[in-house]
Structure 1
Amino acid sequence: GTNSSPIWVGGGIVFGPAPRDYSFSLPKKMKVAALKSALSDKLENKKIIIIDKLSLEENKTSKMVEILKNLQAFKKPLIITEKEDSIIALSVRNIKGAQVLPVSKINTYDLINHEKIIITKKALKRIEEVLI
């Protein structure tokens, strides 16, 4: 036989590790229930701030820092907008712990992981449509 035979010293392995897919998918109802639970917990602890609209003319981090300080939400904020806004995303990306997400990309982990959640009214309506 060959020296790659498993009975030889330095030979092959009989049943070596096989690549497997360990991922699993959660049921949709469970995902929605987790989102509802995370949002209700944040609301109960007064960690959600609802604003009319959030718009910047230019992507300046200093303007966003000023807005967050006025809202008293400077420590690890999550800003949820109705749709992706590149100006807001660019002005937030240099603030430590801050994150901007459109309604279509919110998830339970981000809701739990952030200290304060800032939601625009239009985004809140979209969230209500999805969850109810």
Structure 2
Amino acid sequence: MSDIDDLTKAEIVALILDKKTEQALDWLSKLYKVDVPQIVVGTIKKKRRTVYAVYVVQEKKIYASSSEIFYNPFVVLHEYYHHIRSKLGTHRGSEKHANMYAQQFIDAYIHVMKKLNQACLKN
């Protein structure tokens, strides 16, 4: 997977938090050169009560259990990882790797925000 710099990761997280999830997914998909997955509110059989969201490879859709999940960067990025894995190679469906991928974005956001806060305090 291509490396994305911390500032870009932070901006993607900020877009999701600002309720611009589709814009974040579009940007990510351009970076990875893959189709943009659709994100919708809904559930699929056997997963209705057990998960916040799920990616369905055949449909290229992220199903979120509620509209609030659209604005949860960790969940959105976790499911996006499954999307890019299905497009860029063998889809292994590793939850551990999807969690690590999402956490990298969250960590970058926290790091960038700390730097911005420190810079503001110095001024």
Category of TM-score, reference length = shorter chain: under 0.3
- TM-score, length-normalised on structure 1? 0.27
